[in-house]
Amino acid sequence: MPAVSKGDGMRGLAVFISDIRNCKSKEAEIKRINKELANIRSKFKGDKALDGYSKKKYVCKLLFIFLLGHDIDFGHMEAVNLLSSNKYTEKQIGYLFISVLVNSNSELIRLINNAIKNDLSSRNPTFMCLALHCIANVGSREMAEAFAGEIPRILVAGDTMDSVKQSAALCLLRLYKASPDLVLMGEWTSRVVHLLNDQHMGVVTAAISLITCLSSKNPDEFKTCVSLAVSRLSRIVSSASTDLQDYTYYFVPAPWLSCKLLRLLQCYPPPEDGAVKGRLVECLETILNKAQEPPKSKKVQHSNAKNAILFEAISLIIHYDSEPNLLVRACNQLGQFLQHRETNLRYLALESMCTLASSEFSHEAVKTHIETVINALKTERDVSVRQRAADLLYAMCDRSNAKQIVAEMLSYLETADYSIREEMVLKVAILAEKYAVDYSWYVDTILNLIRIAGDYVSEEVWYRVIQIVINRDDVQGYAAKTVFEALQAPACHENMVKVGGYILGEFGNLIAGDPRSSPLVQFNLLHSKFHLCSVPTRALLLSAYIKFINLFPETKATIQEVLRSDSQIRNSDVELQQRAVEYLKLSSIASTDVLATVLEEMPPFPERESSILAKLKKKKGPGAVSVELEDGKERGELNDLHGGMGQNTSNSSTPSPSADLLGLRSAAPVSGATPSAGSLLVDVFSEAGPAATSAGVNDDGFLSSAPPTAASEDPAPPLPESDELLNKFVCKNNGVLFENQLLQIGIKSEYRQNLGRMYLFYGNKTSVQFVSFNTTVIGMVFFLNVQTKTVEPLVEGGAQVQQVINIECLTDFIDAPLLNIKFRYGGALQNISLKLPVTINKFFQPTEMAAADFFQRWKQLSQPQQEAQKIFKASHGMDTEVLKAKLLGLGTALLENVDPNPENYVCAGVIQTKAQQVGCLLRLEPNAQAQMYRLTLRSSKDTVSQRVCDLLAEQF
Amino acid sequence: MIGGLFIYNHKGEVLISRVYRDDIGRNAVDAFRVNVIHARQQVRSPVTNIARTSFFHVKRSNIWLAAVTKQNVNAAMVFEFLYKMCDVMASYFGKISEENIKNNFVLIYELLDEILDFGYPQNSETGALKTFITQQGIKGQFQTKEEQSQITSQVTGQIGWRREGIKYRRNELFLDVLESVNLLMSPQGQVLSAHVSGRVVMKSYLSGMPECKFGMNDKIVIDKAGKGGVTNEAGKSTSGKQSIAIDDCTFNQCVRLSKFDSERSISFIPPDGDYELMRYRTTKDIILPFRVIPLVREVGRTKLEVKVVIKSNFKPSLLAQKIEVRIPTPLNTSGVQVICMKGKAKYKASENAIVWKIKRMAGMKESQISAEIELLPTNDKKKWARPPISMNFEVPFAPSGLKVRYLKVFESKLNYSDHDVVKWVRYIGRSGIYETRC
């Protein structure tokens, strides 16, 4: 590029800049700038024409002032004039100004686009490059609209210079990333792939970035690139370091290109063609071999480039996950890096190993490095590396080394960095649970965990330990003993007190035989912690006390005394006071039998996914990736477990040697009698059914909590085709909703504003009568208010009964209500669930508006979340009349003469709900050639846009 | 109480740092620099709270003075102290500039030790300070023991601001009434807000320990006098028409406040040399020395015509001086032509304004300027905000109408009487923020 020569340097600019630099204060600087701006304004006034040089100089000054943080509101025109200059420096400054300062909605954009077009069509490669750089720098939608068609042409044209091709490829990549919908695939795509064969390495490097991006969106179209990439890669890898001239970087041939090729290959599965695959494996082996060779240079750039390729190759190997030999070699290579001097390498090695650990082929190989990793965890100075080491330990853990790893992590926890403690705690808790060989070990581990890092133990962890202890009667005694011992410590963490209170309250009797832990000793121990605890813990302890009264009648007097004391019965906290009062009364009034029934031992919890695992997944820490990967592996393992344990899935208490703590077995349902402390554990069951919720929430009335009626006749799950049925009714109101051999259901509905009425016609197609015919609508009460009239329980053969359903839309909703129909046909119970065809668009109120109004509103709703857009293939014909009918059926007003393109459809409507009205604008752009639609929806509420868009996309 | 005091230059470098209390850490210095001096947006409030620490700052040219405290102090007291500090420094080494502060840093630390003790302001009277903080280096050996003990007894005594045994051959007294008049006027000539803040500054060269009494045309005093002496018909009629209502006033420490409270008479034993006797503010019946009549016409998008007339509104015998009218121009001004009948006018691009200067102007006259401003069309749709036209001037009378009625000096021990004292009185009215919207 022609550098600015001495004579061409702008003296005025240099003077101005040095003036500014010399300013003593901000005020002086502003004064100087004001003066300069006035000067430029007077020069730009337009009475006399300026030559290119001074124009360039002043535009430069303006640019400098802008970069200092001042507003520039003139000079754009002069900059645009510079674009048409024939001098490189002037053109360059013009483009610079425009890339920095011109915002996309400026009226000058047409002029600019024109100038860019001229430059693109000129034969001068430097000018073309400048124009392409400007397009890429601005990268706005307007730019994309104007040039998205032009650039691919330049890119694939045979006579384009190499440097221009490079710029064009990168420019296209930028436009594609900014507005993917405007860069349309076409016949050029196949030719882009062939750029991989280009002579010029720069072009290949630029093109491959583009191809990687494009192929990650539509891999099928670029499938051919795999074999090309492999052959290119093998040519580079096998070449001598001097072959590639300019593209050899510190003795490494074309490192960037190699990395990009390897990354492109990661978008695709392993090649099926044997020859290609062989060649690729050969390449990967060569790369691994090269890593073993002594370095050709001592410079850090050499090793960096080499390692970059190596790491990409390893991630490709991991991605393929099919070559055991390569996987093991990669693992060994990484093992060497684990002890490397360079911190970054150690970090990367640990990170890659995390993913390697999840592959079945290399898991064992990874495990051999356990000592090194543990060492890294302990001695590494950089906290991020330690974090990776912890992740890797977590990933490589299995039954064989669980004890060691958990022990190491626990001991590390005492000195761990605060930022990773919580995650470490969760990991320890999960590993302990997953690989627990015997429960006493598990209980020990978790109690240790609470002792060491009590502050970082989240609720879920101690909920979980209690859940497991309750469900497993073989550990209860041991747990009680351990907890009792742990509580002896003078300073206990509150979480420990919670676990202690709960477990002793339930199973204190199991250790009461020992005089050292007699009931009174237990109680005194617990009560000594009482005053140091927060309110929820105190509440839990009070519940534990009342349980003590049941377990050990001899403590009754003492405990009643405690409950009766002013600090309990007159506690300022309502919850505590209520508990104290109620427990006191309960203990003094109720007979032992009643007491024993009410304060019965907690029933086992239903098994479910470990809440801790859910918590770890929620934590979007840097370790999230490994967690995800881990998940897959774990699922496999669990399935194995279940396969092996098929014979004893009953809720027996025989402990299986491989403890199935995370098992998905269905346990006995929670019975209603979960008194008192149950409420504290309710959080664990985030998805608990109504039974559990009512038992837990109903805390103040826990004595009268009625056992929930067992739902023996649960509604059947909705039919698989019910979604399709629903889609059928998006644009129409009447029709046949469902039909089988027995029953036909017709529907007729009308909607006005936020109200709707639906007539359902149930037709008995048989000659036998339906008995106990019963329908229920299960809706979301928050969204829809649905009122049904009951139907006659008898439907005669061949007869039809009618049911009226009134619907009121309270607020916008997504899921349709369910209609459940039950009847007996010849003694057999029929149970059908359907989705009622009530969709949000039913509450549309059409709105007529003029074009100007429409576009004004359209612009008002310009926030990204207000818009929903879908591009999809037509699944039916693209008949205009049919489309119109459908759009009208949707409930919106079809607006004529609004869109400049008559092909497009524009609709407007207001969705009426009780809570609010949601204005909604719609634009459907059919593309007849491609058989595609683009549907854009804008509304004042994001959920509405999305839902209506989803609904409509299914219709065309 | 003040926890510490810092002085910064315009770059935020600390020139002087004095911490008086332990609750102010070293990082307070940086906190102020980062959050106020180098703040992304200009900090306009003089009080800034950063991490439960209050910073009170004043700026003198390029120098920042900041007082820091963690306690709930009287902000007015802190600012009063800072202003006093500026006065003291100015009287010791002239203009407060980076150079001067660097050259006198030992002196400044010495002063800071003296005028602030554990964060409590002490004697900040320049005259008194100068007796024992000097710039001549160590003078102790030349001072007699007697003189030294005299300083101690004076500084700790009842009248800390004046030492005994002062003798002048000629007893002289200078009294300046300095006022600044502030105005905001609508384009139609309606007064939107106006007030005068004035100071009575004295310079006294009197022997002994004289007792002075100052009298002015304060409305309350005059009304009271009028009521008391009903018989004196003539006096009432003369004094009644020219009394002013003072909204509020503050006095130098030498004024006996109890006497002012009971009799509203201002009596005091004056310090020697320069001092400010009182400060006051009035808002009623202000004489506005100039009237500005603007006329702005926008001719299309690229031209603006401005015509400004100023009228002087005081006795024709008086002369106003240093008149300067500042007419703001739009930000997209590309050229200006100015015609004025009197004085000189120039477009100053660096300040985005036309500055019109007139050296002298007598009362009841008028003058005008007209300008044609060419504008460069911009793609910015914002309309020009039309900032007000501001004005600077100096007039030889008090715009509030304040008149000095008497200044009596009594010295019983030495035998000179009120008549022997030569007294000089001067009135100067200056413009404060004197703006007219256009």
Pick among A19, A29, A32, A34 to test the B interface (most B CBs inside 10 A): A34
User: Binding residue per annotation — B359?
Assistant: yes
| Contact flag A44-B334 (C-beta cutoff 8 Å) | yes
Mean pLDDT, residues A373-394? 85
Residue A684 inside a domain? The answer is: no
- Amino acid A806: pLDDT: 84
Whether B238 has a pLDDT exceeding 60, the answer reads no
Which of A411-420, B74-83, B200-209 has the weakest average pLDDT? A411-420
Shared domain check, A854 and A781: no
Shared domain check, A938 and A799: no
| Contact flag B379-A34 (C-beta cutoff 8 Å) | no
Whether A579 has a pLDDT exceeding 80, the answer reads yes
Whether A18 has a pLDDT exceeding 70, the answer reads yes
Outline which parts of chain B fall under CATH 3.30.450.60: 4-132
- Residues A623, A337: Cα–Cα separation, whole Å: 20
Q: How far is CA B426 from CA A620, A744, B130, B199, B395, in A?
A: 77, 110, 27, 12, 11
Four-way CATH pick for B290-395: 3.30.465.10, 3.40.50.720, 2.60.40.1170, 3.40.50.300:
2.60.40.1170
Express the helix, strand and coil content of chain A in percent, nearest 5 each: 55, 10, 30
The pLDDT tens digits for A494-539 are: 888 888 888 888 888 888 878 788 888 888 888 888 888 888 888 8
Pick among A21, A37, A104 to test the B interface (most B CBs inside 10 A): A37
Q: Measured between CB atoms, which of A39, A45, A73 is closest to B349?
A: A39
Nearest CA to A787 out of A748, A825, A824, A817 is that of: A817
Whether A797 has a pLDDT exceeding 50, the answer reads yes
Mean pLDDT, residues A796-809? 82
**How many structural domains compose chain A?**
4
End position of a domain, from candidates A34, A54, A75: A75
Domain region containing A948: 841-954
| Contact flag A45-B335 (C-beta cutoff 8 Å) | yes
Order the strands of the A818-825 sheet from edge to edge.
A771-778, A818-825, A828-835
Tell me which residues of chain A have a C-beta less than 8 Å from any C-beta of chain B.
Answer: 24-26, 31-32, 34-35, 37-39, 41-42, 44-45, 71, 73-74, 76, 106-108
- Residues A175, A691: Cα–Cα separation, whole Å: 55
Whether A7 has a pLDDT exceeding 80, the answer reads no
Cβ atoms B435, B389 nearer than 8 A: yes
Shared domain check, A765 and A746: yes
For the record, the structure tokens of B342 come out as: 């009197």
DSSP per-residue letters across A239-285: S-TTTTGGGEETTEESHHHHHHHHHHHTTSPPPSSHHHHHHHHHHHH
Whether A629 has a pLDDT exceeding 60, the answer reads no
Whether B268 has a pLDDT exceeding 90, the answer reads yes
Which residue's entry shows tokens 């403890």? A659
Nearest CA to B270 out of B204, B216, B208 is that of: B204
Q: Choose between B334 and A107: higher pLDDT.
A: B334
- Amino acid B125: pLDDT: 83
- Residues A472, A436: Cα–Cα separation, whole Å: 13
Residue A690 inside a domain? The answer is: no
Query: Which residues does A167 contact at the CB level (< 8 Å), separation at least 6?
Result: A128, A129, A132, A133, A136, A206
Q: List B residues 43-62 in contact with A (Cβ-Cβ < 8 A).
A: 62
Outline which parts of chain B fall under CATH 2.60.40.1170: 172-224+243-285+402-436, 290-395
Asked if B146 has any chain A CB less than 8 Å from its own CB, the reply is no
- Amino acid A621: pLDDT: 45
Q: List B residues 317-346 in contact with A (Cβ-Cβ < 8 A).
A: 331-335
Cα angle: A509, vertex A510, A512; to 5 degrees: 60
Query: Residues of A annotated in the binding site, as ranges?
Result: 11-12, 43, 53, 57-61
| Contact flag B376-A31 (C-beta cutoff 8 Å) | no
Mean pLDDT, residues A838-860? 81
For the record, the structure tokens of B49 come out as: 């709270």
State ipTM: 0.73
Shared domain check, A504 and A424: yes
CA distance B83 to chain A (A): 23
| Contact flag B62-A106 (C-beta cutoff 8 Å) | no
Shared domain check, A819 and A749: yes
The mean predicted confidence, pLDDT, of chain A is 78
- Amino acid B234: pLDDT: 42
- Amino acid B65: pLDDT: 94
End position of a domain, from candidates A545, A579, A598: A598
Query: Which residues does A512 contact at the CB level (< 8 Å), separation at least 6?
Result: A518, A519, A522, A551, A552
Shared domain check, A780 and A763: yes
- Amino acid A631: pLDDT: 43
Secondary-structure class of domain B4-132 per CATH:
alpha beta
Residue type, A599: L
User: Binding residue per annotation — B315?
Assistant: no
Whether A680 has a pLDDT exceeding 50, the answer reads no
Whether A699 has a pLDDT exceeding 60, the answer reads no
CATH classification at residue A587: 1.25.10.10
Asked if B224 has any chain A CB less than 8 Å from its own CB, the reply is no
Secondary-structure class of domain B172-224+243-285+402-436 per CATH:
mainly beta
Contacts of A108 in chain B (CB under 8 A): 379
Cβ atoms A529, A493 nearer than 8 A: no
Mean pLDDT, residues A136-155? 85
| Contact flag A74-B351 (C-beta cutoff 8 Å) | no
Whether B371 has a pLDDT exceeding 90, the answer reads yes
Shared domain check, A909 and A778: no
Shared domain check, A869 and A763: no
The pLDDT tens digits for A876-898 are: 777 777 777 777 777 777 777 77
| Contact flag A32-B350 (C-beta cutoff 8 Å) | yes
Contacts of B350 in chain A (CB under 8 A): 31-32, 34-35, 38
- Amino acid A716: pLDDT: 57
Contacts of A106 in chain B (CB under 8 A): 379
- Amino acid B78: pLDDT: 95
Pick among B61, B332, B346, B350 to test the A interface (most A CBs inside 10 A): B350
Whether A2 has a pLDDT exceeding 70, the answer reads no
- Amino acid A560: pLDDT: 86
Q: Measured between CB atoms, which of B62, B349, B378 is closest to A38?
A: B349
Minimum Cα–Cα distance from B61: chain A residue = A25
Pairing of strands A818-825, A800-809: unpaired
User: Binding residue per annotation — B167?
Assistant: no
Whether A832 has a pLDDT exceeding 90, the answer reads no
End position of a domain, from candidates A546, A573, A598: A598
For the record, the structure tokens of A551 come out as: 């377990």
Whether A122 has a pLDDT exceeding 60, the answer reads yes
Nearest CA to B387 out of B413, B359, B425, B351 is that of: B351
Q: Which contacts of B241-245 are long-range, i.e. CB under 8 A and separated by 24 or more positions?
A: B242/B217, B242/B401, B242/B403, B243/B217, B243/B218, B243/B219, B244/B217, B244/B218, B244/B219, B244/B282, B244/B284, B244/B285, B244/B400, B244/B401, B244/B402, B245/B219, B245/B282, B245/B284, B245/B285
Which of A276-290, A541-555, A822-836, B353-367 has the weakest average pLDDT? A822-836
| Contact flag A45-B376 (C-beta cutoff 8 Å) | yes
SS (H, E, C) chain B: CCCEEEEECCCCCEEEEEECCCCCCCHHHHHHHHHHHCCCCCCCCCEEEECCEEEEEEEECCEEEEEEECCCCCHHHHHHHHHHHHHHHHHHHCCCCHHHHHHCHHHHHHHHHHHEECCEECCCCHHHHHHHCCCCCCCHHHCCHHHHHHHHHHHHCCCCCCCCCCCCCCCEEEEEEEEEEEEEECCCCCEEEEEEEEEEEEEEECCCCCEEEEEECEHHHHHHHHHHCCCCHHHHHHHHCCCECCCEEEECCCECHHHHHHHCCEEECCCCEEEEEEEEEECCCCCCCEEEEEEEEEECCCEEEEEEEEEECCCCCCEEEEEEEEEECCCCEEEEEEEECCCEEEEEHHHCEEEEEEEEEECCCEEEEEEEEEECCCCCCCCCCCCCEEEEEEECCCCCCCCEEEEEEECCCCCCCHHHCEEEEEEEEEEEEEEECC
Interface A–B counts its CB contacts (< 8 A) at 50
B381: exposed, middle or buried (Cβ count in 10 Å: 0-12, 13-18, 19+): exposed
Pick among B304, B379, B381 to test the A interface (most A CBs inside 10 A): B379
Whether A707 has a pLDDT exceeding 50, the answer reads no
Whether B290 has a pLDDT exceeding 80, the answer reads yes
Give the predicted TM-score (pTM) of the model. 0.58
- Residues A129, A139: Cα–Cα separation, whole Å: 15
CA distance A849 to chain B (A): 29
Which of the four pLDDT bands, split at 50, 70 and 90, describes residue A640? very low
Nearest CA to B325 out of B298, B301, B282, B291 is that of: B291
The mean predicted confidence, pLDDT, of chain B is 87
Backbone φ and ψ of B47, nearest 5°: -115, 125
- Amino acid B73: pLDDT: 92
Residue A67 inside a domain? The answer is: yes
Whether B54 has a pLDDT exceeding 90, the answer reads yes
Mean pLDDT, residues A20-44? 88
Cβ atoms B430, B290 nearer than 8 A: no
- Residues A76, B332: Cα–Cα separation, whole Å: 14
Shared domain check, A845 and A813: no
Cα angle: A309, vertex A315, A320; to 5 degrees: 125
Which of the four pLDDT bands, split at 50, 70 and 90, describes residue A718? low
Residue A53 inside a domain? The answer is: yes
Shared domain check, A917 and A891: yes
Shared domain check, A815 and A854: no
Contacts of A107 in chain B (CB under 8 A): 379
Residue A653 inside a domain? The answer is: no
Pick among A47, A50, A74 to test the B interface (most B CBs inside 10 A): A74
Contacts of B351 in chain A (CB under 8 A): 31, 34
Mean pLDDT, residues A932-944? 82
Whether B377 has a pLDDT exceeding 50, the answer reads yes
Minimum Cα–Cα distance from A34: chain B residue = B350
- Residues A680, A579: Cα–Cα separation, whole Å: 13
- Amino acid A721: pLDDT: 63
Alpha helix ranges (H) inside A254-369: 255-265, 274-292, 300-320, 324-338, 343-357, 363-367
- Residues B202, B178: Cα–Cα separation, whole Å: 11
Whether A619 has a pLDDT exceeding 70, the answer reads no
Shared domain check, A813 and A915: no
Cβ atoms A176, A210 nearer than 8 A: yes
